[in-house]
Structure 1
Amino acid sequence: MLAASQLAAASDEQPGIDLIGVNLSGAGFAPHVVPGKVGQHYFYPEKQHFAYYRDKNIRLIRFPFLWERVQHDLYKGLNTQQLRLLEQTLDLAQEHGQKVILDMHNYGRYQGELIGTRKVPYEAYAKVWRKLAERFRDHPALHGYDIMNEPHGTAGLWPGAAQAAVNAIREVDSKTLIFVEGDRWASAYHWPSANANFLIDDPTGNIVYEAHLYLDEDTSGRYQRADYSDVDPMLGVERARPFVEWLKKHGQKGFLGEYGVPGNSEPLLVAMNNLLAYLNENCIPSAYWAGGPGWGDYVMAIEPRDGEDRPQMRVLQQNLNNDCAEYGPHS
C-alpha cells in the first residue's frame, strides 16, 4: 500500500489528497520539429500559469515533455537546456505549492521507432529514465515519473519497456511514484482487453497505473461532431469503469492522466462532472487536458480567456474536496 505521506499534500484549504489536477502542456508541441526552438515550436509554462491553478486550489500538475528534446542523440547525454527548463518547471511548481508528474510524451517511440526494437533498445529507454531520476529525484516538487504517454501499436513490446524503465528508476530512486500507462493509447475503456495481465514488478510498491479517457464517439478527444446533446450523462463513468474494476481485481492504484470536454457543451460537462464524482468516490486522482501556454481557442483548453474562467473550471472546482487519504480504488 502506498504511504499517505507520499500521496498527499498538506492543505489548509481542503481535506484529502489532490484528486484534481491539470496537464500543463506546451513543451510537447510540434513533435515533428525536434529539437525545435523553445518559444517558437514549443513552450514551457511561466509563473502566471502555475499561479492561476494554484489560485483555484489545483496543485497537481502533469507535465508533458519530449524524449527527443531531452536527449538529441540516443547514445549521448541529456540536453543541458532542457534539463534547466524542466528544473525551472519544478521550481515554479514548488514556489506555488504544487507537485509535478513528469510525463515523457512519446507514445512508446523515439524518433518514430518503437521502444524494444533494434533501433531503440530497452536499455536506451531505461538509461534516459535512470538519468532523469538521478537529476530530479530530490526535487521537493516532484510527485512522480510518468514513464510514457499513450503507448500504442507496440507489438507486445511495451510491457518489457515499462519494466526496464521501472527497474532503472529504482536503481537510483526507491521513493518516488512511477506512473505506468497501458497499451492501446492507455484507454480506460479498453484497458482490460489491451492490458489484461499488464502487471509491473516494483519492490517498493509505488506503482500507479494510468489510463486516459475522452467522451467523443471514437474516444480520441477530437470531438468532431457539432452537437453532443445526446450524450449519456453517465458515459464517462461507463468508460472509466473497466479500468477501475481492473484495478480493484488486481489490488492496484490508479490515475486518470487525461480527460477533457469542449466547454460549449453542457451535456458533456455534466458527463465530466459525473466522471469526476465516480473517480473521487474511488479515490482515483485525475488531470484535465489541458492548460498551459499556446492553446489559443483549442476546444478543450482550460486556460482563462480574456480573464474569464472556462466552463470546465467550474466542474473541476465542484470536485476538489474529498476525504481520501491515499490513491485508490479500495476494494
Structure 2
Amino acid sequence: MIHTDNRIFARIAGTGSYLPQQILTNEDLVKRGVDTSDEWIVSRTGIRQRHIAAAGELTSDLGYQAALRALEAAGVSADEIDLIVVGTTTPDLIFPSTATIIQRKLGVAGCPAFDVNAACSGFVYALTVADKFIRSGASRTALVIGAETLTRMLDWNDRNTCVLFGDGAGAVVLKADDSTGILSTHMHADGGKKDLLWNPVGVSAGFKPDEPNAGVRVMMAGNDVFKYAVKALDAVVDEALVANGLDKTALDWLVPHQANLRIIEATAKRLDMSMERVIITVDKHGNTSSGSVPLALDEAVRSGKVQRGQLILLEAFGGGFAWGSALIRY
C-alpha cells in the first residue's frame, strides 16, 4: 500500500487526451481478412472500434498532444512543470525515454522526466510516482501521461489479440494542494504470471527469428488473464476503500482500465455500482493499455459527468502481471 497522512495532496488540476484520426471498426477487421465478426468481438469484449496511429505518428506525438490539452485545462504553462512521468510499454525508442522526447516537444528542460513500464497499469503506476514526489515536496506541478501505439506490436492474424487493442494517450496535470486530491494509491505485481500476457522480444533477450512465436507481438492466455484480473481488481478496490475508512457507497464514479466490458461489469457488480456510474470508453477506443484510464478520465471530465469534489476510483490491470488503483477526491 502507498498511503501517507501528511497534508500535502496531489490534486488533478487538468486532464487531456488524444486519439489518432484513423478509426478501425470491427467490420474493417473482417474486410482485412481477420477470422472474426462484429458480433463475436462485441459479445466477448464490448469493443466496436479502435483508433490506429498513422504512419510516422509516434507514442511521443500522442502523449504530447494529450499533454497540451491537459496543460490548457489546468491553466498551466509548460515551463511550470517540474516533473514528467510517462506510462508506456511502446516507447518511441529504447532510449532516451519517451518522457524526455515529450519534454523537448514542450520546449522545456531541466526537470526530471522518465518512463514507467507497467503495461496496462502504466498510468496508475506513473500517477503513484508523481503523487509521491508531490507529497514529499520534491514536486509542485507534475505532468503524468499514459500513451501507447500498441497496434505496432500486434499480429493481425491472431484474432484473439488483434481485435482488442488501439492507440491513444491521456494526461493529467497534478498540483500540490493542502486540502484535496489523490487520497491513496495501491500497486501490486506478480512476475510469476508473465507467460500469460507478454511480448517475447527484448534487448537483453534479443530477437531469435528461428524460435516459435518469435517477433514483436502480444501473446495472451485470455481466459486465464480474465479470471486473475477480476480477482485482483476486486482486492485492490477493497484495499483502497479500507485504507481510507470508506464504504463502497461513498464512491461517485469508477474509472476502470478499458480492457474488456465483462471485467468492468464484474468490478462494478462487486461494488454494487450501477453502470451509469461507471465510465465506459472501451467500445470506442478498445484497449489502449496505459492510455486507457486517463483517456476515460478526460472524457468523463469534459462531458461533465465527473464534477469537482466527487470521489472517483481508478483501477487497472495488465501484463507483468501488474495492477493498481487510485482513490481520488476530484
Q: Is the structural similarity TM-score above 0.5? A: no
User: Per residue, is there more helix in 1 or in 2?
Assistant: 2
Higher relative contact order (Cα pairs below 8 Å, separated by 6+ residues): 2
After TM superposition, the score normalised by the length of structure 1 is 0.29
User: Per residue, is there more strand in 1 or in 2?
Assistant: 2
After TM superposition, the score normalised by the length of structure 2 is 0.29
